[in-house]
Structure 1
């Protein structure tokens, strides 16, 4: 057995949740099924290592899933100080809006009944929206929402590459077997300066989340940060106060965040992906490493071990580059 975030084999069984085998589903239905929680001794992530029988039960839950069951299909409200009650996705998107472009393309990854898209349609009127979900249950309803131009079910490989300015993962990441791997795939669909908005339950403020049978992961602020960073993202906004029992992060590429901290504007960004070469981030071009001269310093936004490996590889592949050009914290 391995940790679903860091792949460590040092996962420790903490035990069953509750004195009885009863549990709850994420759509607020009671279920008689035992729940066992494990903790990774390396990254600290709390998780369930589901058996084949667990996945069978979860499949049955999803076949009859009714999101927002207790509120007649309406999204949960939040009550921010000094503001009227509003859906929690509306509030989070409103807080993120200053960091978003005036026009763009949003992907709702795990769209469900379209709650996020309803909020986005009100706050981002000049954007286009696409939805992805594992079922077609709400397909027609979602396609009728303002701004929605596409719906994909099943295989996300059908999604266009380097296309999205924002991917929203709203109460979805906690359900997937390999959350870091899922986040890592988003790089191929995002534009170079694209961002990811995540909300998941916060187990530190809502320990009852441990009893939700179809939640694989139970994130704390620290473990969600680790998950995001291990997938190649950096936190550009921490929405801890936005929802009292949830974690909300806006993620961006670490190189873009690092560039805002440099004493001068960078000459360019580097990328080995030819599909990104030629694009621009805030007017700054993306170039391939082979286009650089040996006198240009290269600031690396990665940990030392990763930076060192990349520097040695690029120096061997690109005759114009030298390992000493690459700058990183050691």
Structure 2
């Protein structure tokens, strides 16, 4: 029996053969956990969207299994380290959010904002501390985070599973911080977001940019890897004017702002033909990179035998590196500067601070975005001059 082609989540056109297929049983979720099934990634010929086939029921997964940053109210991910100072993601996000929306005039006194797919919503908690005049609401398809919400909002300001009818066309801003990449049914999601906004209201979304954070290509529960052309298509098809898809203000991501068109008016997306070709070419280049990455890792490991090693980075890159090691017994620990990860474990190994690398270690796997690999190596070298041999993912 011939299986029907998978439709594009953005434009609904049938997808051709996958541009990337991972080794069986090597799929990892964004929470660094193994997922059943074989990772397959596609690129849409019509809009340039990069899409991963679903490996589970995403609605059930996010309702009952997805527990990101739930150990404490303060737990967060490191966005950057500058001059030795850690900048956490929520702090960077709230600063960028206010700066961008000030330019649009959308975050005025008393503005109504709803965080769509909010999870713990640390960004909105910080926004309320800095801008108590803003009327914040939260929506998620899980009630697992209510304990965090009730610490800074009252019950009428949040909803789970179903959007209250009274919320329709009442918001100045809908925010979405790293949620749209998880949603297979973008048509329903964008219809809901459109319905929440007043005419001229602004959608503010941050989504991963797999071309500047290449490992996003491998995240099994990120079913959408947005490109500039697919964002243009998605927003135009659902009644939005794209104001900006900024690839610079948040490292490894697009910061998207789009205005709701009046009423239900829509315009057909007009894509630059060369931009579409370039997007598809870049997607195939990225697929080739990851097809080669595991063999490069294996070659490096073979050259260094069973030398004691650590993996720098306890995020997705680190989990991917560990899962591809042929001699995992040589791994002593993961190293990470995030204090919320230190003291935990990954792949059965402890996560330690930079100053706690075991004395016997000879090899460091730089399991970080290739864009910052040189910077990270300099940091390690400053603490341990001329001590280690290094592996890094080459862009």
User: 1:37-78, CA deviations, whole angstroms, 9 ceiling, x for partnerless residues?
Assistant: 12211111111233xxx2248845752322137999633343
**Residues 2 and 11, structure 1, Cα contact 8 Å, conserved in 2:** no
TM-superposed deviation, 1:36: 0.8
Other-structure match for 2:176: 169
Other-structure match for 2:69: 68
How large is the Cα RMSD of the aligned pairs? 3.2
| CA pair 71-126 structure 1, distance change in 2 beyond 3 A | closer
2:50 matches 1:38:
no
Residue segments in structure 2 that go unaligned for 5+ positions in a row: 1-5, 271-395
2:15 matches 1:13:
no
Partner Cα distance (1:93, 1:29) in 2: 30
Given candidates 245, 248, 254, the residue that maps to 2:252 is: 245
**Residues 105 and 165, structure 1, Cα contact 8 Å, conserved in 2:** yes
Other-structure match for 1:309: none
TM-superposed deviation, 1:20: 4.9
Given candidates 104, 129, 139, the residue that maps to 2:136 is: 129
2:120 matches 1:116:
no
Partner Cα distance (1:238, 1:73) in 2: 29
2:235 matches 1:228:
yes
**Residues 106 and 167, structure 1, Cα contact 8 Å, conserved in 2:** yes
Count of equivalent residues: 259
User: 1:78-103, CA deviations, whole angstroms, 9 ceiling, x for partnerless residues?
Assistant: 34989983433213213224122222
Q: Which moved more, 1:226-235 or 1:103-112?
A: 226-235
TM-superposed deviation, 1:187: 2.3
Query: Within 5 A, what are the aligned runs for 1:205-284?
Result: 205-254=212-261, 271=263
| CA pair 103-117 structure 1, distance change in 2 beyond 3 A | same
The secondary structure found in structure 1 opposite 2:31 is: coil
Other-structure match for 2:9: 4
2:175 matches 1:144:
no
Residue segments in structure 1 that go unaligned for 5+ positions in a row: 256-270, 274-299, 306-330
**Residues 106 and 130, structure 1, Cα contact 8 Å, conserved in 2:** yes
Partner Cα distance (2:258, 2:71) in 1: 31
**Residues 143 and 151, structure 1, Cα contact 8 Å, conserved in 2:** no
- TM-score, normalising length: structure 2: 0.58
Partner Cα distance (1:303, 1:56) in 2: 31
| CA pair 301-173 structure 1, distance change in 2 beyond 3 A | closer
The secondary structure found in structure 2 opposite 1:108 is: strand
| CA pair 119-222 structure 1, distance change in 2 beyond 3 A | farther
Partner Cα distance (1:107, 1:134) in 2: 14
The secondary structure found in structure 2 opposite 1:103 is: coil
Other-structure match for 1:197: 204
